[in-house]
């Protein structure tokens, strides 16, 4: 009996070792197979990697423009999301006083150079005239005829052909054989000498403020002498056409402008006009004779008349308050 039990226990022990030894061997085989399968994609990737290299120079192939390195320490703010700040609503019953004024912005002045430059195309900025020109040719805005006799007249809307005619000139020059031929010359942004603004100044009693509103803007270019085909220094700039300022404001609000004091705070054309960060001279205010200042005053006297109109508006606002 003792021999039988001892023999049975040995048989059970041997069977136990054989069973678990077999399972351990199968597990090792499975693990090795799994490791081999996991390494196969890496081997494929390693074999395919040289295919993306430049065979001629051995360097990497240049990727698309979206993979270009950043041009700065941070991503600049996109101006396309900017919206137009709507002006305060104004009722006719709340307007206690109003005066219509025409003023001229001279782009030769340093403070107004942000409206003049860049003269040539730039990937970051665009001049105000080039912006107006592109918007007119694309049909986004309309232009109206400039009546030099009546600055308050804007009833004639220009067609696209008429606008193109004002934005270009046709000159005749001799060719190689001496024959005259017609050449179309577009208006150079460098020929812009300023802008004329037509605006209304109101005193609105609900807010008790003097509120200026720009209504129209007109580009002005140099006057060309037809005989010499050069700029005429004795003649003033030529006004092209009127453009509705409220109509072009959405485009002005999305166009960045170089800030001469801080390169980290670029503004828009709409900011320049809305905050009145420009210098100008008044050339006319509403009067019974319907005449401009230059019609009856010249030189220093005309500048003094400009200051007199400014002082009149400031005194009116001052007199509305009691101290």
Give the domain ranges of the chain.
101-162+189-318
**Mean pLDDT taken over the chain:** 80
Q: H or E element: which one contains 10?
A: helix 2-48
Q: How confident is the model at residue 294 (pLDDT cuts 50, 70, 90)?
A: very high
Close Cβ partners of 103 (under 8 Å, ≥ 6 residues apart):
196, 197, 199, 280, 281, 282, 283
Q: Which helix (H) or strand (E) holds 308?
A: helix 299-319
Q: Is the pLDDT of residue 210 over 50?
A: yes
Above pLDDT 90, what percent of the chain? 45
> pLDDT: is 22 or 199 the higher one?
199
pLDDT > 70 in the chain, percent:
73
Q: What is the pLDDT of residue 81?
A: 72
Place of tokens 């005066």: 99
Confidence of residue 188 (pLDDT cuts 50, 70, 90): confident
Residue 322 has pLDDT above 70, yes or no: no
Contact 279, 195 (CB under 8 A): no
pLDDT at 293: 95
Torsional class of 281: left (φ above 0), alpha (ψ -120 to 50), beta (otherwise): beta
The mean pLDDT of 310-318, rounded to a whole number, is 89
Beta carbons within 10 angstroms of residue 17's beta carbon: 10
Q: Residue 183: which residues within 8 A CB-CB, separation 6 or more? A: 170, 171, 172, 173
């Amino acid at each position: 009996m003792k021999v039988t039990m001892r023999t049975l226990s040995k048989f059970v022990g041997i069977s136990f070792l054989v069973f678990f030894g077999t399972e351990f061997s199968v597990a090792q085989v499975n693990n090795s197979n799994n490791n081999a399968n996991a390494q196969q994609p890496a081997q494929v990737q390693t074999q395919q990697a040289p295919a993306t290299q430049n065979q001629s120079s051995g360097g990497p192939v240049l990727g698309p423009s979206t993979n270009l390195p950043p041009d700065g320490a941070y991503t600049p703010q996109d101006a396309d999301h900017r919206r137009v700040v709507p002006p305060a609503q104004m009722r006719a019953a709340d307007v206690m006083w109003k005066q219509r004024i025409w003023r001229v912005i001279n782009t030769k002045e340093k403070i107004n150079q942000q409206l003049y430059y860049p003269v040539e195309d730039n990937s970051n900025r665009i001049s105000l005239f080039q912006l107006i020109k592109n918007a007119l040719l694309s049909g986004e805005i309309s232009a109206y005829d400039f009546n030099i006799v009546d600055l308050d007249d804007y009833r004639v809307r220009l067609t696209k052909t008429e606008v193109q005619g004002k934005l270009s000139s046709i000159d005749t020059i001799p060719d190689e054989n001496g024959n005259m031929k017609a050449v179309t010359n577009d208006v150079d942004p460098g020929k812009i000498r300023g802008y004329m603004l037509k605006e209304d100044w109101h005193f609105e009693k609900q807010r008790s403020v003097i509120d200026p509103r720009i209504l129209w803007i007109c580009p002005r270019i140099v006057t060309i002498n037809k005989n010499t085909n050069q700029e005429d220094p004795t003649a003033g700039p030529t006004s092209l056409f009127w453009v509705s300022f409220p109509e072009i404001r959405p485009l002005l609000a999305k166009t960045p402008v170089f800030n001469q004091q801080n390169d980290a705070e670029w503004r828009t054309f709409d900011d320049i006009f809305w905050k009145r960060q420009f210098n100008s001279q008044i050339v006319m205010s509403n009067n019974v004779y319907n005449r401009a200042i230059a019609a009856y005053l010249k030189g220093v006297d005309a500048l003094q008349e400009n200051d007199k109109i400014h002082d009149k508006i400031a005194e009116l606002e001052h007199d509305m308050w009691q101290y």
